[in-house]
Amino acid sequence: MPDWGNGLYFNQPRSNAEPPLPDTILAYGKVLERAEAQKGRLGRKISPRSRNISRDHSADPRWATSWAVVPGLQGNGGLTNAIRASIDAGALTDVLAVGSIGFPTDVLDDQKKTEIYEKLESEHDSLIVYVSDSDLDGHYAHYCKTILWPVFHYQIPDHPKSKAYEDHSWVYYVNVNQAFADKVIANYKRGDIIWVHDYHLCLVPGMIRKKLPDAQIGFFLHTAFPSSEVFRCLATRKDILDGLLGANLVAFQTPEYAHHFLQTCSRILSIEATADGVQLENHFVNVWSLPIGVDPKAISLEREGPAVQEWINALQERYAGKRVIVARDKLDSIRGVRQKLLAFELFLNKYPEWRDKVVLIQVATSTTENDDLAVTVSEIVTRIDAVHSTLAHNPLVFLRQDIAFSQYLALLTVADALMITSLREGMNLTCHEFVICQDGKASEKKHGPVILSEFTGSAAIFDGAELGVNPWDYQKCAEAIKVALEMGEAEKERRYAKMRDVVMRNTGDYWTRTLSEHLSKVHEEHFRRDTMSIPRLNVTKLCQTYQACKKRLFFIDYEGTLAPFGSVSKTVLTNTERVTDVLNELISDDNNVVYVMAGRTLEELEMLFGRVPGIGLIAENGCYYREMYTDEWTAFADEEKTKKWKDAVKSILQYYIERVEGSWVEERHCSLTFHYEKADGYDSADRQAGDCANHINDACENQRVKAVPTKDSVIIEPMDWDKGSAASYIINNIEKEKRPDWLMVAGNDRDDEVIFRWANQLHESGEVSEVSTVSVGNRNTVAMSTLTQGTTGKPHHSNVLNYSLTRCQASSTFLPNLPGCPRLTDPYTEDS
């Protein structure tokens, strides 16, 4: 491992307003001085360049001169600091960074590229991805910055001057993502953990998954993620979602962003989204949230440096007797600098007694992205100066430039308050650093309050300890400034203690370690659920445990497991004598308790199982059950509550029925199903179905109802009742002396996963000694074993299987004849 150093980066990118291209990188003296001071830091170690400079500069022959590796001062400083903190703590021991080189490379010959590549790989554990200048420029300056960045922050690029509507940069975005994926694939070794970060590389997880199906892949989005209404405006929305869903784990800064992602997947892709993730046809993608943090130890150590102390002393002397509010933001349309200045202007107008007592120091790192905004901000600054400044005092210090990190830490240390008014932001780490610097150890100022936009991720984790504001409400922002300046010491200390506890708990090191641990956990779970890794049902062992146990309990799914899907009349015809005989022989043993589960109504199940009068039944996926040898049904769901939510949902469904010609609604006692398999214009109907599910989930969540998109339909059912809850009720009401020591659960659909989990937990806890959960078919599952025979197809390699079942039958009258197996009286039936 290289020496990663102890320096820190700004958590926000540095200014884009930088000097022109130097004659040589080595001649860039100031850069090299900073590089020496920051030697060994993680990141792109090359001369900082504006990301908006045209790639036409790559034709400049000056790039052919000598070169050196220096720290890259742009990029995601929060990520850099978090990884470095984990390396320092020993949590990460082998890190290989993959990234672009950071400046135009078309003019470089192959030899020079090889030299750079080898040096960065051998000395800095970095793999360079070379892409053409046009691809890199189209990817970052166009697609990322003019399309993805605004949309992810709730700003649709529809300004009259915007060229987004005619943008063709998607192809560049795809090219760059493919180049990154190819580099990872070429250097991957079994057991490696692949982490992909941020919106620039949304397609990479899916691209890697196609070539490395077993790889452990995580994706973390550092920005906000918008609601489905905003995200659906992207022309490439499905491609981006498909790319992200190639990961085992997709993680976000806050639960809100994770919820938006789940809702977006459900609405746009018409797939099932649960609280834990997204269920795809062949695998499950976990969705999680964990806020990134800072490195408190490194910040405290940096603040002890002489440069910081000198600036602390200078600032204390300069603003003695004044109340100082500080802020550092990038000057773009997302950070809310304009809104902050307008609120501060209103504060000065409304509370003139504070004009000579307060100073707002606003550091605005320059950008070339929005000249109109820069002009507007300049006008506000000029107006404040003209109205409120005197020869002795300026209430506003506006710096349209970046400052040294030592000055930044000194500002945070001597401030009385911090003000952040971002319109949207994933996680603002400036307030975390402010909290660390407000401990009172380096200055007489301490415990300063944080005026924080409610639209930042930090507001979600501080949970009211901050002074939360809506940046668009200038009146309330102005009042928040007054409250912060007049807050008593006891109240400040109370709020500060709560914020400090959050900051010290959610550190960068903790974020890196916890995220990696969670990825490993979900990857292991995915591996267990993969049908390629789940063993086939061992019938010999099943029969042996069956014979050894005295009290046995069965839960067997009907549709797709005992019989094919279809209408009731059709299913009755296909409910062959074989299935009936199997069930009758099972219940003929007094030591067996047998329940058949289905999504059918109780009336339909009574019709289907009229020839098996003693069978136990679970109807409508767990909303009703009938004990063995009885005719009475027990309802778990409250009829009045059910009627209430069904009436509400029907009115919503009626709206979509009118818009999807050929659609219809199937009503059962405890569920509704919106069918559109025969709709005219299937693609349009599919989109409407996604909207329908989203609408119901939003409107009826407090009624404990969920809408689940499935193929050709949307199922609306109660959250509190399912096959697992019904099975749990049944086993808990069995007399103690009759409690089972053997349990078998067989099923084939998404509804069966919850009862598989329940049964697996009984096995893990030891409550039932012998448990077998069996998934029929080829699908991702949590079941312990699988059977891949179809419900009507011919047996597949079943000679040994049927021989084992026959032995089991002969010795114990056990007939678990699952679909696709020939009759047990023909143990040597040949495959055809």
- pLDDT digit string (tens) for 537-571? 888 888 888 888 889 999 999 887 777 655 444 44
Same domain, 379 and 468: yes
Q: Where are the beta strands (DSSP E) in 396-535?
A: 396-399, 417-420, 450-453, 467-469
436 CB burial (10 A radius; 0-12, 13-18, 19+): buried
Q: Is residue 686 part of a domain?
A: yes
CB 818 within 8 A of CB 789: yes
Same domain, 577 and 489: no
Rounded distance, CA 308 to CA 439, Å?
15
Six token digits for residue 38: 């920051």
Which residues make Cβ contacts (< 8 Å) with residue 724, sequence separation at least 6? 622, 754, 755, 757, 758
Same domain, 400 and 462: yes
- For the chain, what is the domain count? 3
How high is the pLDDT of residue 494? 96
Same domain, 683 and 705: yes
Q: CA nearest 413: which of 564, 532, 305?
A: 305
Give, rounded to a whole angstrom, the gap between the first and last alpha carbons of the chain.
Answer: 59
Rounded distance, CA 120 to CA 97, Å?
10
Q: Is residue 617 part of a domain?
A: no
CB 60 within 8 A of CB 107: yes
Q: Is residue 512 part of a domain?
A: no
Same domain, 759 and 654: no
DSSP string, 170-232: HHHHHHHHHHHHHHHHHH--TT-EEEEESGGGTTHHHHHHHH-TT-EEEEE--S----HHHHT
Pseudo-torsion of CA 481, 483, 489, 494, nearest 10°?
-100
Six token digits for residue 637: 């769901």
Domain that residue 445 falls in: 296-506
Across 25-39, 41-55, 373-387, 473-487, least confident range: 41-55
CB 87 within 8 A of CB 1: yes
Q: Which residues of 14-43 are buried (b: 16+ CB within 10 A; e: fewer)?
A: bbbebeebbeebeebeebeebbeebebbbb
Same domain, 308 and 406: yes
Query: Where is the domain boundary, 718, 751, 772?
Result: 718
Rounded distance, CA 346 to CA 472, Å?
13
Rounded distance, CA 534 to CA 129, Å?
37
Same domain, 340 and 473: yes
Per-residue pLDDT reduced to its tens digit, 428-476: 999 999 999 999 999 889 999 999 999 999 999 998 999 999 999 999 9
Per-residue pLDDT reduced to its tens digit, 769-811: 999 998 887 777 888 988 764 443 333 322 332 333 334 444 4
Based on C-alpha coordinates, what's the Rg of the chain? 32
Same domain, 442 and 380: yes
Rounded distance, CA 251 to CA 248, Å?
10
Q: Is residue 377 part of a domain?
A: yes
CATH of the domain at 547: 3.40.50
CATH of the domain at 700: 3.30.1240.20
How high is the pLDDT of residue 588? 86
Q: Which long-range contacts (CB under 8 A, 24 or more apart) does 109-117 make?
A: 112/64, 112/67, 116/67
Q: How far is CA 320 from CA 206, 355, 440, 447, 525, in A?
A: 57, 15, 16, 18, 59
How high is the pLDDT of residue 757? 92
Query: Where is the domain boundary, 718, 741, 776?
Result: 718
* CB neighbours of residue 792 within 10 Å: 10
Confidence of residue 271 (pLDDT cuts 50, 70, 90): confident
Q: CA nearest 28: which of 64, 69, 60?
A: 69
pLDDT at 678 over 90: no
**Rounded mean pLDDT of the chain?**
83
Query: Where is the domain boundary, 695, 718, 741?
Result: 718
CB 502 within 8 A of CB 465: yes
Phi, psi of 743 (to 5 degrees): -140, 135
Q: pTM for the full model?
A: 0.79
Same domain, 408 and 450: yes
Lookup result for tokens 């976000």: 252
Same domain, 350 and 447: yes
Same domain, 676 and 742: no
Q: Is residue 424 part of a domain?
A: yes
How high is the pLDDT of residue 174? 96
Q: How many residues does the chain have?
A: 832
